């Protein structure tokens, strides 16, 4: 992605609207991390202890 676009994305809180969505919040409680590795989105679930 061009630097201008990535700079704008870094400055935005793209998750802000999630806090107002109860369904999304229930889902996020089960996620440990979300990263991008080698161009792929990697979602790691929390371990069930």
Predicted pLDDT of residue 40 = 92
Predicted pLDDT of residue 45 = 95
Q: How many domains does the chain have?
A: 1
How far CA 15 is from CA of 33, 44, 45, 49, in Å, comes to 14, 17, 18, 27
> Would you give per-residue pLDDT tens digits along the chain (49 residues)?
788 877 877 777 777 878 888 998 898 899 999 999 998 999 999 987 6
Token pair recorded at residue 33: 């991390």
Predicted pLDDT of residue 20 = 86
Query: Residue 9: which domain range?
Result: 3-45
Token pair recorded at residue 38: 């080698």
The reply to whether the predicted model has a pTM over 0.85 is: no
Predicted pLDDT of residue 49 = 63
């Amino acid at each position: 992605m061009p630097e201008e676009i990535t700079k704008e994305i870094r400055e935005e809180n793209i998750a802000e609207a999630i806090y107002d969505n109860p369904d999304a919040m229930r889902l996020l409680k089960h996620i440990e991390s979300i990263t991008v590795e080698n161009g792929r989105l990697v979602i790691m679930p929390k371990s069930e202890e």
